[in-house]
Structure 1
Amino acid sequence: MQVSEQSAVNEKSTSGNPLFPGWYADPEGRVFEGKYWIYPTYSAPYNDQTFFDAFHSTDLVNWTKAERILEMKSIAWAWRALWAPSPIERGGKYYYYFAANDIQSDDEIGGIGVAVADRPEGPYRDAIGKPLIGKFHHGAQPIDPHVFIDDDGSAYLYYGGWGHCNVVKLNDDMISIGTFEDGETFKSVTPDKFVEGPCMIKRNGSYYFMWAEGGWGGPHYSVAYARSDSPLGPFERVGKILQQDPEVATGAGHHGMLQVPGTDEWYIVYHRRPLTETDANHRVVCIDRLYFEEDGSIRPVRMTHEGVGARSLHSGN
């Protein structure tokens, strides 16, 4: 029986959506150490969101879980809800940014933390023993971090909720915040209709800034984007690229991106809610192709049940 089950896995022609079992949300996509990685939120009531899992694959079709790569019990200041992770590699270390505690004012402890590990699967440990960003600036709730390293080595952390988005510049140590050339530390980059869940990619010299719109618990959650020649904007909203499909799923949003290195092949990883589901926390992680038009604009994503076909990191480059 074991052999036949293994054969069935190997003969899977597409990933299928959702990618893996369980309730997960807010996925970040990365390529680390010759594998595709997805880092999601464990989707549950806040008091149960006490850990992070991750998933890795060599072909986008078969995924393996790395369990509890970071746990609340190892973060002294976190007490309620971990979510929205975003890791990056620099100098052989892995830096993992996350939101904790869902603070509602500057009087509470919480916000965006940073953990560090020697390997993509952790275990991660709290790097500074306190939030990296623990206060409100320009009206942005300190949640939903997304880290981006530009071609010149500059590292940026985009984040925000409550309809406001900021960017900060990370120092080379990746665990402290620097200042911009104009002296600002927290720079507001809020585009029209921004709600939360920022994401940045660079392609052919253009910066594509994406974010989630609508309420995360409802059917109208979606993703929109802007395009700029600077990582600091301005970001003028172009339009939606991912939203509910009455034939497939609702609540599609808060995404990450995967690029096959050395190619112009892109995949969007995102969460959505099954059509028959009413529980706001019932979110599952899915993947579909993302295409650019000849003029560089992003073609709206078609959500599927099939997902994507097998794609090795080492073929076709």
Structure 2
Amino acid sequence: MITVRASIVTALAYAAEEVRCCLGRQATGRGDVAEDVDGERESGRAVLGRTLKFLREKAGKSLGQLADDTGYDKSYLSRLESGDRLSKVTVMEDLDGYYGAGDLLVRHWRAARLDAFKDQYKEYMGLEATARIMWLFSPGIPGLLQTEEFARGVLSGAQTTADGDEVVEEQVAARLGRQYLLRQKPEPEVRIVMDEFALRRPAARGKAWRDQLLHLETAALWPNVTLQVLPFSAGAHHHMTGSLTLLWQRDGSAVAYKEGNGCSRLIEDPDEVLRQRLSYDRLRDLAQSPSDSRTFIRDVVEEHRS
């Protein structure tokens, strides 16, 4: 936690309110807070950086002073303000608390994180952010339940460029940011069917895999999450090559999203969404019950320990 001097709390609160007025933006239901600048749409990351700089300057702080107060590296804070780096959501939570800004920075961060995803994925991300019910099948560990180290290992394999490490870190931050959805209020109801394959291909590092398994065991107990394992004994099935997600909004509208073999598709046609729901139901019928799935995961944890 960041300790803030009592003498500047009031000034920072006024600054936070002023930035809301000066920037003149209201977040939409999909968390989109970007605006048009000189006829071109400004990226969410640029909006976030400008907001960070505005709050700091209104508080009368230099980057060095902010670094001293918060414990974050000065160069790191500078890159956040310039839009060159995407932080984890916890950094924005800390700075919101520091400036007394409510959830202003977190809201801007939700839009900025979309910059780390391909355009074809962004529409789905917007729908995921407002969904009240989520059903997901994944042949691997789903991103919503990945630990930081496991996600870093998964995402590192595809990066071969000189700036690969930085790209990976931004993708890790964006992926972990999706997990913020599971604890927002009201919490979405989430059902995840995960192939046994996901539990049989460990991370390269033993500790990362052990922590990932323990996280799955914990997540299976969350009140808004139902986790089921589809065992090998269920045999071949119709979603072995990709994932399927079904989302329901507050108004009852639904979409399906499929990924696999390097392709992705957002499905909005009601008849096709219904067919995808029925295919999900068949998978769920083949999966172990939630209680048996928890036992299965615990057994895998014990196997790993031994």
Instruction: Say whether the fold is shared (TM-score over 0.5).
Output: no
Q: Select the structure that is richer in strand.
A: 1
Q: Select the structure that is richer in helix.
A: 2
Q: What TM-score comes out, normalization by structure 1 length?
A: 0.24
The structure with the largest alpha-carbon Rg is 2
